[in-house]
Amino acid sequence: MTKAIRITEKVTPGVLRERNTRLVLQTVLIGDGSMSRADISRSTGLARAVVSEIVESLMARHLVVEEAGTPSGRGKPAKPLRVDTGRQCLLMADLRPTEIVAGVVGLDGVISTTGRVALPPGPGVDDVISVLGSFLRQLAADDGRTVLTAGVAVPAMLSPEQGIVESIQFRWHDVDLAGPLREALGYDVVLVNDATAVAMSELSHRSQAGGSVIVLHIAGGIGSAIILDGRVHLGERQRAGEVGHIDVGVSDRHCECGRTGCLETVANLPAILGDASVEDLDAVAAPGEPPELRALAERVEFAGRSLGALVCVQAAILDIPDVVIDGPVRRAGARLLDAIEQELARRLPAVDVRRPRFSTMADRSKMHGAAAAAMLQELGVLWHISPDRAET
C-alpha cells in the first residue's frame, strides 16, 4: 500500500517566489518565443500580476526579453517573450584523457562555438586546471558575452560536494578540480560525470517532459546513467551507473582496477579496438568488412553482446526499453546495435525489446549535457530543444 507523502519543508515567501520564477522561466524556454505574459499566466495558473512581476525581474537579470507584438484586431498586441541570448552565455567542456573539447552555448541551448586543445601526456590535475582554465577564458573572450556558469563533463566518480573521488582513466583519487577552476575563472563550475552528462543532453532534447532512458557511455571506460520519469537518478552517493567494473559473466580477463571479469575488459573502447584504430570502426559498421578487420568486427559483436547482458538487467528491473549508446563506439554503427539488440532478444520477452539508438548530439553530447546540468543548477530550468536547433 502506498503511503501518503508529507511535505516537511516550510514554504516561505522566498521559496515560493523562487519556485514561481523557475516555472515562468521554464515556460518561456518551452514556448520558444511564442508566449506572452497572459499566455504564461494561463499556462501556469499564476496570477497575471505575479507573472508580470517575475518577468520584469527576469528582464532586469538579462535572462528574458520581451519583443514587440504584432497587431491583430482590437486591443494591445500581445508581446511574446523569449530567452535573452545576447547578454549571457554558458561555457561547456568535455574532459578527455588526451584532450579537451569545449565550446560556448547560449541560454537557449544553442551552441555557437566549439574547439579542442591537447593535454600533455599523463596529465595531473594542475595540468588540466591550467589548460582548461586558459581555454575557457579564451572562448569567453572571443564570444564577448558574460559567462553565467560553466559545465564540465569528466570521466570520474564524483562526490556530492563535487570532488573527484576516482578517475581510473586519469589515475586520480580524491582531487579537487572544480574549486581551483572556480577561483581561476571567477564563476561557478559544475562537474558532471560523463555518462550523466549524456543523460542530461538526452533530457534537454526531449519534446515533452518525463520519460525514462538507460544511457551507456563507452570510451576509455564504461559508464551508465538512468533517467527515471524525466530526472537523472544519481543515487544516494551520486554513484549510480558505475557499471564498468562489475562482472556480468562475460569475461575472465584481469582488469587494471585489480579485479577479474570487469565488463570494461571486453567492452570498453581499448578492448574493442585492440591494435586497430577508431577510424577502422567505420569499415566494420556493416557486413562486408575487409578480411584484415574481421577480428575487429568480432570484438565489436562480442562487446555488443556483453553490453546487452548488462542492459537486459537494467531494462528488466527498471522497465525502461529506451537505450542510448554514446562514445566513439558510435562509429561501429549497426553492427554494434545489432549485437546489443540480439542479446536483449535472447534474454528478454519480445515485448520488452526495443532497438538501442545512438545519442542525439553524437560527439557533442557530453559537453552539451554538462552545460544543461550547469543551467539546471544555476537557474533551475532545463532546455527542451530539437537537435537541429542545438547548434548554429
Tens digits of residue pLDDT in 44-93: 999 999 999 999 999 999 999 998 866 665 667 789 999 999 999 999 99
Q: Which residues of 183-196 are buried (b: 16+ CB within 10 A; e: fewer)?
A: eebebbbbbbbbbb
CB contact at 8 A, 111 and 391: yes
> Distance of CA 354 to CAs 153, 201, 308, 322, 331, Å?
28, 21, 12, 7, 20
CA 338 – CA 326 distance, rounded (Å): 15
The b-or-e profile of 259-269 (16+ CB within 10 A means b, else e) is eebbbbbbbbb
Query: pLDDT value at position 5?
Result: 45
* Alpha helix segments (H runs only) across 208-293: 264-267, 269-273
Q: Count CB neighbours of 93 within 10 A.
A: 27
- Looking at the fold, whether 252 and 183 belong to one and the same domain comes out as no
Instruction: Let me know whether 285 and 169 are in one domain.
Output: no
Residue 6 inside a domain? The answer is: no
**7 within a domain of the structure (yes/no):** no
How many whole angstroms separate alpha carbon 155 and alpha carbon 46?
42
CA distances from 68 to 32, 88, 107, 276, 357 (A): 15, 21, 20, 58, 42
Residue range 253-282: mean pLDDT, rounded: 94
Per-residue pLDDT tens over the stretch 153-171: 999 999 888 889 989 889 9
Domain boundary among 83, 111, 143: 83
In a domain, 1, yes or no: no
Instruction: Specify the CATH number for the domain of residue 43.
Output: 1.10.10.10
- Mean pLDDT across the stretch 33-40? 92
**pLDDT averaged over every residue in the chain:** 91
Least reliable range by pLDDT among 175-189, 230-244, 367-381: 230-244
Q: Say yes or no: 167 and 234 in one domain.
A: no
Percent of residues, the chain, with pLDDT higher than 70: 93
372: in domain = yes
Mean pLDDT of 127-142: 97
Mean per-residue pLDDT, 158-187: 91
Residues 240 and 372 in one domain: no
Task: Assess whether 278 and 336 both reside in one domain.
Answer: yes
Domain tally for the chain? 3
Does 222 lie in the same domain as 186?
no
Distance CA(289)–CA(280), nearest Å, equals: 10
Burial 33-49 (b: 16+ CB within 10 A, else e): eebbbebbbeebebeee
Q: What is the CATH number of the domain that holds 112?
A: 3.30.420.40
Does residue 181 carry a pLDDT above 50? Answer: yes
Residue range(s) defining the domain that contains residue 383: 88-200+364-389
Decide if 4 is inside a domain.
no
**38 domain-assigned:** yes
Amino acid 314: pLDDT: 93
Same domain, 56 and 117: no
Domain ends where: 63, 83, 103?
A: 83
What is the band of 2 on the pLDDT scale with cuts at 50, 70, 90? Answer: very low
217 shares its domain with 339: yes
What does the pLDDT average to over 305-313? Answer: 96
pLDDT at 1 over 50: no
Q: Are residues 166 and 303 in the same domain?
A: no
Instruction: Examine the domain organization and report whether 172 and 277 are in the same domain.
Output: no
**Last residue of some domain: 54, 83, 112?**
83
Asked if 253 and 175 sit in the same domain, the reply is no
Are 190 and 149 contained in the same domain? yes
